[in-house]
Structure 1
C-alpha cells in the first residue's frame, strides 16, 4: 500500500509546453491525454489538442500533473497565480542542484539557491510559465 501527494497545475492553453519543459528537467515518463481522447467530455471541438490530463513520474518518486482549462473557465486562476509553490526538497545534492539549474532556464529568480539562515541551501524562482517553485537541500548534504 502506498500514498502520495503531488502538485496538479492548471494552465490556460500551455500545459503541453509546461509538461514538456518539466519533463526535460525532471526526466522520467511523460503521459499526455488531449481533450479529443474523450470526445464530448471537455471543451469545444476547437480545443481538441488541449491537455485534459498530463503526468510526469520520475524514477526517484517525483510526480507532477497538469491540465489545460477549457475556454469556458477563462477566468479561473492558473498555476502562475500567487498563493502556492511547487517545492522540491531532500538530501540528494546532485539531483536537487541539477533540478534548480534546469528550472532556472528562462525563470525569474526570486531567491538565489544559497545557504539560508536556517541552514538549508534554499532558492525560489518563477519558472518560464510563471509557476512558483522552491528548492531546499538539507544542510548535511550541501557538499
Structure 2
C-alpha cells in the first residue's frame, strides 16, 4: 500500500442521504460506521438521532475512494468547509512527516496522535486554508 490522497466530505447531518445518493448516482460500494458504534466513553449519552449519524464512511467508486462524515468530531462545522483531504499512508513516521510539514504557517485542528483506528491521526489546516486529515493506516 502506498500513500494516497482521498477527498473527505463533511455532511453536517445528512451523510446518510448523501451515501444513498452516491450509491445510486455513482454505483458506489459503501462501507460505513455509525457514530453509535464507535468505541468511546460508556458514560457518553448519545441521542437516538446521534446514534444514526455517520461517524465515518468509505465509498468505493471504481478504483477511487470517497470518505464522508456527519462532522460529529467535536469541531465546529462551518458552511463552506464541506471538503477536507485525507492523506493516508501505511507508515506512521511518514504521517508524522506530512503533519509537521503541513502545519508550518498553518493551524493544528486536532493534534497528531494515536486513536482506536490509527497509530497516528490528526487534522491540520495549511497556510493556504486547505484542511488535511493525516492518517497512518492500521490499528494502534
TM-score of the superposed pair, with normalisation by structure 2:
0.47
Q: Kindly indicate whether structure 1 or structure 2 has the higher relative contact order, using CA contacts under 8 Å at least 6 residues apart.
A: 2
TM-score of the superposed pair, with normalisation by structure 1:
0.46
